[in-house]
Chain A
Amino acid sequence: NAGVTQTPKFRVLKTGQSMTLLCAQDMNHEYMYWYRQDPGMGLRLIHYSVGEGTTAKGEVPDGYNVSRLKKQNFLLGLESAAPSQTSVYFCASSRGQGEFFGPGTRLTVL
């Protein structure tokens, strides 16, 4: 099992550009999450999904959109990137007993 994988691992964007981060899990988990981690701020939940076709807002959803068209995939989109979105993004999945995290995507917005 690969567990939770994230694509890409690194990305540099210019302000105003768009991009999509892909998360995939092969553990048949119902729940999937997108977090961002910033120094001094800890892990903050952006959006999450409790099942295929469902999404919900987390703590810091503004500027992001998500889709869960397939159970194993959870996409995070930035429509118009801003420097404040420079961060490390983690995807996680769960069956309800603690979350399994991916390796992260380091995003820099210039």
Chain B
Amino acid sequence: QKEVEQDPGPLSVPEGAIVSLNCTYSNSAFQYFMWYRQYSRKGPELLMYTYSSGNKEDGRFTAQVDKSSKYISLFIRDSQPSDSATYLCAMRENRDDKIIFGKGTRLHILP
């Protein structure tokens, strides 16, 4: 079983819809969880950083962590065509550890 699993997509949704992106993981020691957005031919950009279980909201973005299920989600409300990108989940055990990345989900927001 891979350490971090993420559906590669592509996921296509109409503009204005709520988008749900997900990752599952196998290592119960992961405590720090991140979401990155990567536009084509650009470097990944940190979107959300969370510690342990619970929700974190930032504008139209909400990150959710369920450690009991080893499942994390990123919700995008009122999706825009500019949200079209690849979204990478990432996680680590301790603050000083290396990050383990998912392979990314390609998202298309249709105007």
A contact residues vs B (CB 8 Å cutoff): 4, 31, 33, 40-43, 45, 48, 50, 58, 90, 92, 96-104
Contact = CB atoms under 8 A, between A and B. Distances in A.
Contacts of A98: 34, 46, 49
Given A43-B88, A50-B96, A90 B43 contact: yes
B42 A104 contact: yes
B77 interface: no
A56 to B, nearest CB: 9
A99 B96 CA distance: 11
B44 A43 contact: yes
| A-B complex: 4 closest residue pairs judged by Cβ atoms | A101-B43, A42-B103, A98-B49, A98-B46
Nearest to A42: B103
B60 interface: no
Contacts of B34: 98
Given A31-B96, A98-B46, A101-B36, 18 more contacts: A41-B103, A42-B88, A42-B102, A43-B44, A43-B88, A45-B98, A45-B99, A48-B98, A90-B43, A90-B44, A92-B43, A97-B49, A101-B44, A103-B42, A103-B43, A104-B41, A104-B42, A104-B43
A97 B102 contact: no
17 contacts: A31-B96, A33-B98, A40-B103, A42-B88, A43-B44, A43-B88, A45-B98, A50-B96, A90-B43, A92-B43, A96-B95, A96-B96, A97-B95, A99-B99, A101-B36, A102-B43, A104-B41
B103 A99 contact: no
A13 B70 CA distance: 43
Contact of A43 (B42, B49, B95, B101): B101
A102 B41 CA distance: 11
